[in-house]
Every structure is written in C-alpha cells, then in structure tokens.
Amino acid sequence: MSVYKVIELIGTSEKSWEDAAAQAVAKARSSLRELRIVEVNKLDMRLDEAGNIVCYRARLNVSFKYEE
C-alpha cells in the first residue's frame, strides 16, 4: 500500500502556459522522487501597464509518493 502527498506549484514562462507547466514539473522533478500525477488547476497571465502579456502562469497540483 502506498501513500501520496499533493503539493501546489505555480510555473511561469514568457512563452506559453504549456511551457509554464513544464517549468514547474522540471523543477519538481529535480527535488522530488516518484512523481505520479500533475493536474492543471488554473491558467492565468500577468500583464504590464499597457495590457501586454508579461508572463503566463500555470497552477498545478503535483502528487508524489510519500516516504517517511
């Protein structure tokens, strides 16, 4: 029997939401073991004063195997 922990991450990118999500997963993969599921919860953008897109943001739930 296994237990999994779920954490929330926010990835950012100047390119796209897909790249923002990929950045978050890449960072999680470098410090967490046995990643299982990534669920995209929210997509948004940060804008400058003129209304231009500055960056894309992807909010993710990431689950990984819990080890004590």
Indicate the fold that domain 4-65 takes in CATH.
Dodecin subunit-like (3.30.1660)
pTM listed for this prediction: 0.84
* pLDDT bucket at 5, cuts 50 / 70 / 90: very high
Domain ranges of the chain: 4-65
pLDDT band of 50, cuts 50, 70, 90: very high
CA dist 10 and 42 (Å) reads: 9
* Model confidence pLDDT, tens digit, residues 14-48: 999 999 999 999 999 999 888 989 999 999 999 99
Question: Which secondary structure element, helix H or strand E, spans residue 56, and what is its range?
Answer: strand 53-65
The residue-averaged pLDDT of 57-67 equals: 92
